[in-house]
Amino acid sequence: PEDINIPSLIERLKSDEVSELILAMNPNLEGESTAMYISRLVKPIGIKVTRLAKGLSVGGDLEYADEVTLSKAIAGRTDM
């Protein structure tokens, strides 16, 4: 937590006119943990916290996608 300067982020969110915090973390255990940690600290301030979508990459081959990637892609699907 010290590495990502959370106190500074919280102060900026409280003082600026911010309505949403978009988190862009690596899709690994460290990224997931960091996103959850930040989300827990920010939500009580009343700011919407979101993450970038996860799933299949453009140009990727569906044949090589693992179950977790497919699951995230299905969960994050959008209307056409």
Domains of the chain: 2-54 (3.40.1360.10)
Which residue, 22, 13, 8, 72, is CA-closest to 52?
22
Q: Tens digit of pLDDT for each residue in 33-75? A: 999 999 999 999 999 999 888 777 888 888 888 888 888 888 8
Q: Are the beta carbons of 47 and 14 closer than 8 angstroms? A: no
6-15 helix and 29-42 helix, angle to the nearest 10 degrees: 40
pTM of the predicted model over 0.85: no
> What's the pLDDT at 60?
80
Check pLDDT > 60 for residue 80. no
The C-alpha angle 72, 36, 26, rounded to 5 degrees, equals 55
